[in-house]
Amino acid sequence: MIGNDQFQTLLSGGGNVVDESGSKIGSIGQVYLDDQTGEPQWVTVKTGLFGSSESFVPLADSTADGNDLRVRYGTDMVKDAPRVDADGHLSQGQEAELYRYYGLGYTESTVDSRVDTGVADQTVAYDTSGAETDDAMTRSEEHLQVGTQRVEAGRARLRKFVVTENVTRTVPVSHDEVRLMREPITDANRAASLDGPEITEAEHEVTLYAERAVTSTETVPVERVRLGTETVTATEQVTGEVRKEQIELDTDAAITRTNGTQADAADLDVTDVTTREDTTRL
């Protein structure tokens, strides 16, 4: 049977109750402890729409399967179990009905079961003192368990848009200019100079050219941009409340210390009484 320590892990993990084949029956509800031994005896399984129904399952021969609790009963058998209100306590009559349904032996000496009140804060704590136990009292305390949970903190996205800017470049340009050129008559050009009438009026036209600066654009890829993530580790302080039990001595009789002096109960601290019978006597 699963002990209290294992139930700590199951309850904190928010697991499910599964059958022998691993099929989910429902989520883990409440754990009921045996009134006499304080050991886990029953667990409720939340079934139905949104976990509206709770069925009792005995924890005998159950095992832990990760965060889940594996029981030796089928889904239909658990869901068809006698309806008992999960009000925090099982009477002997209710337990007898459940024992008979699951085919388990039951005697009237079986002690009632109560809900583990530590389920809400996932802590199992109980007192071992009683008529059927020894003369010691167990003191328990809660320990703060700290872990991490990965949650979404934000989103980043790439967005591309167009902007316009002015770009200035210097480019050389050329143009034609008119130059009046005079050359003397020589043997080389004499024939050309005598071509045509002797005295006449005439025009000679020359076309002038100039370069003009023009612009155009060309689209070219320049780089690729992608999103990446980097994990940065920091530290945070967390604070939580934990409970602990304190044990004090309450007696109506005067107590004799080992030095022979008398001490009233109000003056005696628990540390005044040790477990060595040869040093302290009542």
Note whether residue 208 is domain-resident. Answer: no
Select from 34, 23, 149, 137 the least CA-distant residue to 75: 23
Rg (CA), the chain: 49
Tokens of 249: 């001595």
CB atoms within 10 A of CB 58: 22
- How many separate domains does the chain show? 1
The enclosing domain of 65 has a CATH number of: 2.30.30.240
Note whether residue 53 is domain-resident. Answer: yes
Note whether residue 107 is domain-resident. Answer: yes
Note whether residue 78 is domain-resident. Answer: yes
* Residue 85: domain span: 4-120
6 close to 64: Cβ distance less than 8 angstroms: yes
Q: What is the pLDDT along the chain (282 residues), one digit of tens a residue?
A: 666 667 667 776 678 898 888 889 888 888 888 877 778 888 889 876 655 678 899 888 888 888 888 888 888 888 888 888 777 788 888 888 888 898 887 665 554 555 544 433 333 334 434 445 567 888 889 888 888 888 888 889 999 999 999 999 999 999 999 998 888 989 888 888 787 777 888 888 999 999 999 999 999 999 999 998 888 899 999 898 888 989 888 776 555 555 555 555 455 454 444 444 443 333
133 close to 36: Cβ distance less than 8 angstroms: no
CA dist list (Å): 180 to 161, 177, 183, 191: 58, 10, 10, 21
Enter the pTM of the model. 0.39
Which residues face 277 on adjacent strands?
none
Q: What is the DSSP letter of 112?
A: P
Note whether residue 65 is domain-resident. Answer: yes
Note whether residue 13 is domain-resident. Answer: yes
Note whether residue 272 is domain-resident. Answer: no
Note whether residue 33 is domain-resident. Answer: yes
219 close to 119: Cβ distance less than 8 angstroms: no
